[in-house]
Amino acid sequence: MRTNPSARWHLSNKPLWALAACVLLSACSNEEQSTIQADIDVIASKQKPFSSIDPEFDAPTRELILGYLQQIEIDFAAVEIAINALQSKIADFIEQPNAISLASTRDSWINAHTTYELTALHRYFASLILTEQDALTLFQLQYQINHWPVLPGYIDYVDGYPDSGIVHDINVPLNINSLREQHGFLDISEATLGFHVLEYLLWGANDDGNSPRLSAEYSAITELTTGQADGGFELDQLSNNRRRQLLAVVSQALLEDFELTSSLWRGASASFRQRLGAENSAAIGTAQLLLLVTDAMTTMLTEELLVRSLYPMLNGEFTESIQSPFSHSTQNAVSSQLSGLERLLLESQTDAGITLDSLFSSISVNFSEFFYQNFDASKECLILLYSDLDRPPASDAPLKTEFEVVECINLLTNMIDYLNQLKIGISD
């Protein structure tokens, strides 16, 4: 368990920037400036922000990485189980479409998606050790599994357009091959595959969080009306029946795509394990292993949270910035992403009890203090932000949201900057 950063912060250990700030103020007297400069010189002589990597780190680093590879396999297996459970719930719901079975299916979707987001860091790590071609395949699979934002009108009806989407386009066959061809056909947001297509099909727009799609929209239509028969329609062309079929096919495609992701990982993991052996002449060095992990962390935090969400949100693009707007469960996904990172740092350990956190703290004396201060605050800030966005807007909502977004960006940027400093220390 890490210590509380605030408990280790004493006035006698003033940070250099705080002392230097006073030096720059004209209000400080020459005598005060001399005293402060002396304090700075003493502190600077004692502080060593980064230590060289001790050769004794080699064995525990390799043990930790091997443990991490095992954890990835466990977590990927958990995702497959969760997606299988979701597919089973969808089948049950289609068999008996009612409010209870729909609610159960939605719960299963949230569980599967949250379990998937726990592997966010794993996927970024995997992309660093895969071959170039396999990494491209991985990115394509991620686009098929979890792309957001999606364009609701490309999937099904939206307000004002009751016949929009492939649910109503009888020219689009509802099979996996056809959906793969339609996925991102003209625009990246024109999604026909993945978690968030399923999310829209299960919840509908649900803008206020209290008006999700009704189960009746999935009731099987077994007879044509006179008007439908006269119009030349067939039963499998009716929107309810196509919606039922689309839900089943997308869930099957989701499972297949994640199984391919797992297969890619197993191949990469086996090859990577061989390069971890100390007896291997081409073994990966300790510094390189630690850099792989820190690269995965910084890239995940930057891409998933800053680039895809917070920066667009700061520009007022709220619809495009929220990962799960229909189920209103973005806070679950973000919490899961951050938990995956925290778990790697603090929970994975060697037989001797060494954690990645303790290794980083040995390399950088400030790691536990500065990184976790920003990590804990970032997690709290993000959960509060996405929770607030799920509530009905108040009169001061725009100003409050902008403040929260800026605060979260600053905290995340501080955390990423310190990880980048750590990477420099590892490289030296």
Tell me how far apart the alpha carbons of residues 108 and 202 are, in angstroms, rounded to a whole number. 11
User: What single string gives the DSSP state of each residue in 235-277?
Assistant: GGGSHHHHHHHHHHHHHHHHHHHHHHHHHHHHHHHHHHHHTT-
Last residue of a domain, one of 239, 262, 281: 281
Domain boundary among 281, 302, 322: 281
Asked if the structure places residue 246 within a domain, the reply is yes
pLDDT, residue 295, reads 97
Tell me which of 27-36, 209-218, 395-404 is least confident: 27-36
Q: Are residues 114 and 189 in the same domain?
A: yes
- Indicate whether 25 belongs to any domain: no
Q: Is residue 3 part of a domain?
A: no
pLDDT at residue 316, rounded to an integer: 86
pLDDT of residue 52: 55
pLDDT digits 0-9 by tens, 202-233: 999 999 899 999 999 999 999 999 999 999 99
Q: Is the peptide bond before 55 cis (omega within 30 degrees of 0)?
A: no
Average pLDDT, the chain: 86
Domain boundary among 281, 298, 322: 281
Residues 102 and 70 reside in one and the same domain: yes
247 and 148, same structural domain?
yes
Amino acid identity at 315: N
Give the domain extent around 333.
285-428
Judgement on whether residues 180 and 265 belong to the same structural domain of the protein: yes
pLDDT digit string (tens) for 253-290?
999 999 999 999 999 999 899 888 755 545 788 999 99
Q: In 3D, which of 39, 332, 93 has the Cα closest to residue 213? A: 93
User: Are 295 and 276 in the same domain?
Assistant: no
Q: Is residue 345 part of a domain?
A: yes
Dist CA 268 CA 419 (whole Å): 25
Q: How confident is the model at residue 401 (pLDDT cuts 50, 70, 90)?
A: confident
| Burial class for 384, CB neighbours closer than 10 Å (0-12, 13-18, 19+) | middle
Nearest to 202 by CA among 129, 125, 307, 97: 97
Q: Is residue 43 part of a domain?
A: no
Are 74 and 208 within one domain?
yes
Q: How far is 366 from 418, CA to CA, in rounded Å? A: 9
Asked if residue 239 and residue 312 are part of one domain, the reply reads: no
Whole-number Å distance between alpha carbons of 246 and 236: 11
315 located within any domain: yes
CA separation, residue 345 to residues 276, 354, 427 (Å)? 19, 10, 19
pLDDT of 75 above 80: yes
**Residue 368: per-residue pLDDT:** 83
Q: What is the dihedral of CA 327, 330, 336, 337, to 10 degrees?
A: 140
**Residues 146 and 336 sit within 8 Å (Cβ to Cβ):** no
Same domain, 106 and 174: yes
pLDDT average, residue stretch 137-141: 97
159 and 244 housed in the same domain: yes
Q: Say if residue 78 is in the same domain as residue 196.
A: yes
Domain contains 52: no
Instruction: Judge whether 146 and 195 are in contact, CB under 8 Å.
Output: yes
Helical H runs in 52-131? Answer: 58-95, 99-117, 120-129
* pLDDT reported for residue 220: 97
- The answer to whether 102 and 202 have CB atoms below 8 angstroms apart is yes
Tally the domains of the chain. Answer: 2
Q: Looking at the structure, do residues 235 and 383 belong to the same domain, yes or no?
A: no
Shared domain for 294 and 424, answered yes or no, is yes
Q: What is the pLDDT of residues 346-386, one digit of tens each?
A: 999 999 999 999 999 988 888 888 898 899 999 999 999 99
* Residue 216 within a domain: yes
